[in-house]
Amino acid sequence: MIQVIINGLLIGAVYSLIAVGLTMIHGVMKIVNFAQGELLMVGMYVTYVLYGAFVAEGSAPYFLIVPVCIIMFLFGALVFKVSVSHVVGKSETSYIILTIGMSYLLRYGFQMIFGSNYQSIPVSESLKFGSITIGGIVFTTTRLIAFFAALIFTIFVNYLLSSTDIGRAMRATSENKTVATSLGVNAKIVYIVAFGLGTVFAGVSGLLVTPLYMIYPSVGAVFSTIAMSAMVLGGLGNIKGAMIGGMIIGVVEALSSTYLTTNVSQIFINLVLILILIFKPYGLFGKGVRIA
Amino acid sequence: MNMLKMDKVCAGYGDLKVLFDISLEINEGEVVALVGSNGAGKTTLLRTISGEVIPTSGSIKWLGMELTKLPENKRAVNGIAHIPQGRGILASLSIKDNLLLGTYTKRTKPRRAELLENALQMFPILKERLNFPAGSLSGGQQQMLAIARAMMMAPKLLILDEPSLGLAPVVVDDVYRILDVMKRQGSSMLVIEQNLTKALSISDRGYVLETGHMQMTGPSKELLNNKDIQKAYLGI
Between chains, do B104 and A183 touch, taking CB under 8 Å as contact? yes
Q: What DSSP element (H or E) covers A103?
A: helix A94-114
- The C-alpha atoms of residue A232 and residue A241 are separated, in whole angstroms, by 8
Residue B91 CA to its chain's centroid (Å) = 20
pLDDT at B236: 58
Pairing assessment for the beta strands A131-134 and A137-140 based on DSSP bridges = antiparallel
Give chain A positions within 8 Å (CB) of B158: none
Between chains, do B71 and A186 touch, taking CB under 8 Å as contact? yes
* Average pLDDT rounded to a whole number, residues B112-119: 90
C-alpha distances (whole Å) from A39 to each of A185, A218, A230, B58, B64 are 27, 11, 17, 48, 48
Query: ∠ at Cα A101 (A98, A106), nearest 5°?
Result: 120
Between chains, do A182 and B77 touch, taking CB under 8 Å as contact? no
Mention every residue, 6+ apart, whose C-beta is less than 8 A from residue B39.
B211
Fold held by A2-279:
ABC transporter involved in vitamin B12 uptake, BtuC (1.10.3470)
pLDDT at B200: 87
Between chains, do B73 and A171 touch, taking CB under 8 Å as contact? no
Give chain A positions within 8 Å (CB) of B52: 178
pLDDT at A239: 86
- The C-alpha atoms of residue A270 and residue A290 are separated, in whole angstroms, by 23
Question: Is B97 a residue whose pLDDT tops 50?
Answer: yes
Cross-strand partners of B34: B192, B207
- The C-alpha atoms of residue A198 and residue B96 are separated, in whole angstroms, by 26
Helix (H, G, I), strand (E, B) or coil at B66: strand
Between chains, do B91 and A180 touch, taking CB under 8 Å as contact? no
Backbone torsions φ then ψ of B176, nearest 5 degrees: -70, -30
CA distance B106 to chain A (A): 9
Strand ranges for chain B from DSSP E: 2-13, 16-27, 31-35, 57-62, 65-66, 80-83, 157-161, 188-193, 205-210, 213-219
Residue whose C-alpha is closest to residue A141's, from A122, A127, A123, A151: A127
Residue whose C-alpha is closest to residue A38's, from A118, A121, A105: A105
pLDDT at B11: 92
Mention every residue, 6+ apart, whose C-beta is less than 8 A from residue B123.
B144, B145, B147, B148
Cross-strand partners of B216: B208
pLDDT at B234: 66
- The C-alpha atoms of residue B85 and residue A75 are separated, in whole angstroms, by 40
CA distance B89 to chain A (A): 8
pLDDT at A195: 94
Amino acid letter, residue B99:
L
Mean pLDDT, chain A cut into blocks of 10 residues (292 residues total): 89 91 89 92 94 84 91 95 86 86 94 90 81 85 89 90 92 91 92 94 93 90 89 85 91 90 85 90 72 43
Q: What is the ipTM of this complex?
A: 0.87
Strand ranges for chain A from DSSP E: 131-134, 137-140
Residue B52 CA to its chain's centroid (Å) = 15
**Domain residue spans of chain A:** 2-279
C-alpha atoms less than 13 angstroms from C-alpha of A151 in its C-beta half-sphere: 10
Of B74, B90, B109, the CB nearest to A172: B90
Give chain A positions within 8 Å (CB) of B46: none
Per DSSP, B138 falls in state: -
* Average pLDDT rounded to a whole number, residues B130-135: 91
What's the Rg (C-alpha) of chain A? Answer: 19
Contacts 24+ apart (CB under 8 A), B113-121: B115/B151, B115/B152, B115/B154, B116/B152, B118/B151, B119/B148, B119/B149, B119/B151, B119/B152, B120/B148
Pairing assessment for the beta strands B31-35 and B205-210 based on DSSP bridges = parallel
Question: Is B34 a residue whose pLDDT tops 60?
Answer: yes
Q: Does A186 touch chain B (CB under 8 A)?
A: yes
pLDDT at A90: 76
Q: Taking the CA atoms of B82, B86, B90 and B95 in sequence, report the sign of the dihedral they define.
A: positive
Give chain A positions within 8 Å (CB) of B73: 181-182, 184-187
- The C-alpha atoms of residue B164 and residue B86 are separated, in whole angstroms, by 10
Amino acid letter, residue B16:
L
Mention every residue, 6+ apart, whose C-beta is less than 8 A from residue A49.
none
* Average pLDDT rounded to a whole number, residues B211-223: 88
pLDDT tens, position by position, B155-181: 999 999 988 888 888 888 888 988 988
Supply the mean pLDDT for chain B: 89
Residue whose C-alpha is closest to residue B190's, from B74, B54, B111, B75: B75
pLDDT at A82: 92
Q: Is A166 exposed, middle or buried (0-12, 13-18, 19+ CB in 10 A)?
A: middle
* Average pLDDT rounded to a whole number, residues B85-96: 89
Q: Does A93 touch chain B (CB under 8 A)?
A: no
Confidence of residue B185 (pLDDT cuts 50, 70, 90): confident
Residue whose C-alpha is closest to residue B156's, from B58, B82, B213, B47: B82
